[in-house]
Amino acid sequence: MTPPTIRITDVAPRDGLQAEHAIIDTPTKSKLVTLVQETGVDEVEVSSFVSPKWVPQLSDAAHLFSTLAPAKPDNVLYSALVPNEKGLDAALTVNRSARQDHGVERLIDKVSVFTSASEGFALKNTNATIEETLKRFAPLIPRAKEHRLRTRAYISCVVRCPFDGDVSPVQVADVASRLLELGADEIDLGDTIGAATPDTIEAVILEVIDRLDGRATNDFGDPTLTLHLHDTFGNAGACVERALELGVRSFDSSAGGLGGCPYASKDGQRAPGNIATSTLVHAIERAGIPHSIDIEQLNRASTFAQGLIG
């Protein structure tokens, strides 16, 4: 089996813009997605089909996808967050329209559900307990697969929760096991507030890999485990290096380091940004592993992304 190369998902258009006070207009978001997909990433997390009352910044998800449909690249996957079946319905409608209007076989390739390893964050972010979020996903994941969509399952607060404090690796792995039982293709571990150190993230990764038959990749060499780091204390690059040593081959990052979950912010203190794609690329290079990022294009996308935030 050939070991997979690194897979990078740029989450700037979704995780980057969801926390912005200003609402960015759809053509500007479309430009950001286009610039980001030209950097050589494998996947772009374009937007979310969530309640517009909860995240008004991304309420134009369907329109944004429609602007991307005429020029969907073959070599980049598009994904979107869906918290419930209503979100999945919206994603399927987008795909149907793209097929009818532009002959695009599948505009959205993957849908991502999201829950938490901690009850405090699950409630704050989804108005539901962990158990209730899993109940929402039970019909959603098989339906997504019937429509040949890949499914990612995020677990937030894998090291620490802004509301409940420290989270144990076993707590994380228990939620991961439940998501795998529901049929999720990929587990994405979110260090939502950037609390991880190489040692704490190692403990979580090892516990979760244990539930993945001892490997972070599946029988086809595709990554089943992704790491989603935020860079609050400047530890994210070192965490990537440790994760690479442990066999993790899939990472989220954001052009220009945009990001932060609005529901992770506390006492007026804004949640920190995602690991910048440039920081991720440096860590991959330090580990001596090849990657597919075009640095010039990345600089262009990062400058544009940073120009969008106040």
CB distance 141 to 182 below 8 Å: yes
Catalytic residue, candidates 157, 161, 239, 261: 261
Q: Rounded distance, CA 171 to CA 167, Å?
A: 7
Q: Is 50 in the site for ligand HMG (CB under 6 A)?
A: yes
CA distance 204 to 216: 12
Known active-site residue 157: no
Among 15-23, 53-61, 207-215, 216-224, the segment contacting Mg ion (CB under 5 A): 15-23
Residues 6+ apart with CB under 8 A from 38: 294, 297, 300, 301
The minimum distance between CB 31 and Mg ion, in angstroms, equals 22
Containing 245, the helix (H) or strand (E) segment is: helix 236-245
Number of residues that bind Mg ion (CB under 5 A): 1
Residues 106-125 contacting ligand HMG, CB under 6 A: 114, 125
User: Which of 15, 60, 185, 231 is close enough to bind Mg ion by CB under 5 A?
Assistant: 15
One of 22, 28, 86, 142 touching ligand HMG (CB under 6 A): 86
Distance of alpha carbon 172 from alpha carbon 203, whole angstroms: 10
Strand, coil or helix: 301: helix
* Residue 294 φ then ψ, to 5°: -90, 110
Q: Which is nearer to Mg ion, 15 or 185 (CB)?
A: 15
Count the site residues for ligand HMG by CB under 6 A. 26
Element (H, E) at 199: helix 198-211
The footprint of ligand HMG (CB under 6 A) covers 15, 18, 48-51, 53-55, 81, 83-84, 86-87, 90, 114, 125-127, 154, 156, 190, 192, 228, 261, 263
The footprint of Mg ion (CB under 5 A) covers 15
Catalytic residues: 261
